[in-house]
Amino acid sequence: MRITPIDIQQQHFKNKMMGGYDQDEVDRFLEQVAEELELLTVDGQQLRDELTRTRLALEDLQNREATLKETLITTQRMTDDLKANARREAELIIGNAQLRAEQLLQQGEDRRQKMASELQSLRREKVAFETNLRMAIASHLRLLDVGFEASYHEAPQSIPAPAPSSAPASLLPDDGSDPFAY
């Protein structure tokens, strides 16, 4: 049975004849108080030990919490730094790509202009070549016409007669058309 503080306050011992308390009753009460005090002492020590463990656990948890907070802050900073670096790198890559694209466009435009210039030059050369060829052909035709007229009126001079063959007598058409006309 547990003794409460009220039990101790209300405990009455029987008086013995000589004005004292019953020794056995006092001894039993003291034993009960001693047992209760022993239990309370053990309980108090257990509670103090548990309190110490709880405080150590709390301190450990607080240290872990502080470490986690620092880790989260460091992680957030690193994440922010990584994002900022990624943005800067992306902007740099985009800038380089735009610069390269502009260079390629300029090179393409330069090449187009060069090719257009070369095409113009080739067209002029073609026209000049066609003109010179037409003039040469016309000149040769005039020479042929002059040569035919002169040889038609003159007597042949020791030119051997052609051997009979299956080749055509003349390479020029007899209808008077220009064989070199386009």
One pLDDT digit (tens) per residue for the chain, 182 residues:
677 767 777 777 676 666 677 778 877 887 888 788 888 888 889 999 999 999 999 999 999 999 999 999 999 999 999 999 999 999 999 999 999 999 999 999 999 999 999 999 999 999 999 999 999 999 999 988 876 665 555 555 555 555 555 544 445 555 555 555 55
| Distance from C-alpha of 32 to C-alpha of 158, rounded to nearest angstrom | 173
User: Residue length, the chain?
Assistant: 182
The strand pairing partners of 15, in sequence order, are 21
Check residue 167 and give its pLDDT: 44
Check residue 175 and give its pLDDT: 59
Check residue 12 and give its pLDDT: 73
Number of C-beta neighbours around residue 137 at 10 A: 14
Check residue 21 and give its pLDDT: 73
Nearest-Å Rg of the Cα atoms of the chain is 65
Give the 3-state secondary structure of residue 21: strand
